[in-house]
A and B are shown apart, each in its own frame.
Chain A
Amino acid sequence: MSGPTFHGDGVMDSKPIDVGRQSYEDARDMVALGHTEELTRKFSPWSMFALCFSILGTWGTFAQDLSSGLTNGGAITILWGLVLVFICNLCVALSLGELCSAMPTALGQAFWMHSLWHTPTGRFASYICAWVNVFGWWTLNASLVAFATNFLLGIKLMYDPEWAGAGTGWVEFLVYFGIASLFTGFNLVACRNDKILPWFNNIVGIQFGALFIIFSLVLLICVGTKQGLEFQPPSFTFGAWINETGWPSGVVWFTGLVQAAYGLTAFDSVCILPPNTQTPTNVSPSRSST
């Protein structure tokens, strides 16, 4: 980035003096970033919500993960487990929201830990939290690539159930690699114009909502009108208990919650994005007022 201010003098500078200089330069970097990051400042409340809603991707995740719910308890865990998970996850969301509102600063969760627990142990815990969070987002990213891979190959399999290609590792890897490259490549070029990313998020959010309506209506209309298809009775939809796991029922009630939990995590995207959307001056008010 900014040439002259960027750590010109060697990588591993010796300690005491350079710490100060480095901090100064880092701070300047942050200021510079405050300007370069103007892209994300174009996020309106609506596009922030669209981003968070589509990253959560609740109904889509439930759809992708249907087998887990169906074998681990069936309708009872899918629906009533979801109610329980929703209440608990809402508490988590509110707690994070409170922290985010008090400290809308870089690094989200890890930074909050550091600010709250200002001791050497706290710094270590914050570091571990940062790694766990980063690993979480990397693996979430990888799992979305894998989901898309499975679905693309699944579409092919629908037409050609005998096709052996879907099971071969290198075909899967090639598709996976293509999708991962698409994600990275799009992001590399998308910020050139400040409007692209928020608009893209708006479109994905709207599309995700529209698909929810389309899927629901198409399913209901098809089953309602087609010959030979019947709706399940409400006793199945709201009360069926299916356990194909071998665990006792008490355990299955809990393992069945996993599906609901999958669909309702990753709402910290907003906590992570604001740091980039705000100039570093936002650090000051909370500290200077103490």
Chain B
Amino acid sequence: MIEELPNPKVNAPRAIYLSVVIGAVTGFIFMVVCLFCIQDVDTVINTPTGLPFMQLVQDAVGIKGTVVLMVLFTMNSLGQGISITTTGSRLTWSFARDNGLPFSKYIKRVNKKWKVPPQALLVQGFLITLVGLLYLFANTVLEAILSVATIALTVSYAMPILTLLIVGRDKLPAGGQFGLGRYGAVINWISVIYCAVTTVIFFFPGGPNPSGADMNYAIAVFGVMLVVAIGFWFIQGRKQYLRVDDSEQVVLEAIHLEDSYTEVPGPSHGGGGKSLK
């Protein structure tokens, strides 16, 4: 990316907010179309397939057209799934590289020939398959685990933003090329409040006074996650996590120096080069 992306410090933030903007606009238009085209709300909600969207399309298009559309839709979902697996495995791998996961030394290996972290991929695939085993005996737990995804991601967004607000926005390292300027604090606060409110709502059950089967067990799953995380902190994280930071820095700076003398092209090196001159 350094070589091919003119400026990652600009382009990464741009990719993030553009995808949110375009996602929301297309989502809004699509929902308007669906709401115009819905034929009978009750049939759609109580469809025998269990998939209201499929019923909605079937009512409008007929069964043959729907199958074609749904096959295309599902193929596309498979493509998205592959991208999510890529991202997830890289995150798993980078957490292992910082010695955060059990068996980190094993998980962080990269296969040079295939240019992937195979262990990170396989560990992740194995854990996902374990979740799938719940189909056999505990659908409620399965649903809770699946619904925790958005909650966990939302919490992981709020944490660094809140940290930034607590330590002070002036502590933000220099060098970023996408600053929010004087609106930064407001935008950060809106983000934190929004994440806090939605996280609470995500834990709500589908209706008041739910029965055992209708309860939203996401809160329990999230609790188990936290227990696992805190447990591993005491087992190994406290000693090893990110411990390599400072001396690694020395090595990195040495390499960086070498690079800037040999004038390796790339914007990030340019940034470092300036501070050396």
Contacts and interface: CB of A to CB of B under 8 A. Distances in A.
Interface in A176-206: 176-177, 179-184, 186-192, 194, 197, 200-201, 203-204
A121 to B, nearest CB: 11
Contact of B4 (A44, A150, A212): A44
Contacts of A91: 187-188, 190-191, 194
A80 to B, nearest CB: 10
Contacts of B4: 41-44
Contacts of A133: 91, 152-153, 156
B34 A141 contact: no
Interface residues of A, number: 210
B182 interface: no
B72 to A, nearest CB: 6
Contact of B146 (A41, A142, A281): A142
Interface in A10-66: 11, 19-20, 22-24, 26-33, 36-45, 48-49, 51-60, 62-64, 66
A24 B247 contact: yes
Interface string B107-139: 011111111101001101101110111011101
A140 B153 contact: yes
A257 B198 contact: yes
A75 B80 CA distance: 27
A98 B184 contact: yes
Given A54-B80, A109-B157, A169-B137, A137 B207 contact: no
Nearest to B85: A183
Contact of A53 (B22, B187, B191, B243): B22
Range, interface on chain B: 35 or more
B255 A59 contact: no
Interface in B140-171: 142, 145-157, 159-161, 163-164, 166-167, 171
Nearest to A28: B251
Contacts of A268: 16, 153, 156-157
Contact of A116 (B13, B128, B171): B171
Contact of B74 (A83, A143, A148, A283): A148
B17 A237 contact: no
Main secondary structure of the interface of B (DSSP, over half): helix
B51 to A, nearest CB: 5
Interface string B228-264: 1110110001100111111111011101100100000
B241 A284 contact: no
B48 A157 contact: yes
A222 B179 CA distance: 47
B255 A104 contact: no
Nearest to A226: B60
Contacts of B45: 67, 70-71, 244
Contacts of B80: 54-55, 57, 60, 144, 204, 208
A114 B28 CA distance: 37
B37 to A, nearest CB: 4
Contacts of B157: 92, 95-96, 109, 268
B24 A86 contact: yes
Nearest to B28: A82
Given A133-B152, A257-B201, A128 B110 contact: no
B100 A176 contact: no
A26 B248 contact: yes
Contact of A159 (B50, B63, B159, B190): B63
Which of B16, B115, B149, B242 neighbours the largest number of chain A CB atoms within 10 Å of its CB? Answer: B16
A36 B200 CA distance: 41
A254 B197 CA distance: 9
A170 B142 CA distance: 14
A219 B61 contact: yes
A56 B131 CA distance: 22
Interface in A57-106: 57-60, 62-64, 66-67, 69-71, 74-75, 78-79, 82-83, 85-104, 106
B20 interface: yes
Interface string B195-229: 10110011010111100000000000000011011
Contact of A29 (B108, B166, B187, B188): B108
Top 7 closest pairs, chain A to chain B, by CB: A97-B13, A102-B176, A136-B152, A58-B23, A131-B229, A277-B1, A184-B125
Given A132-B226, A183-B84, 6 more contacts: A48-B12, A91-B191, A103-B173, A137-B84, A161-B49, A290-B173
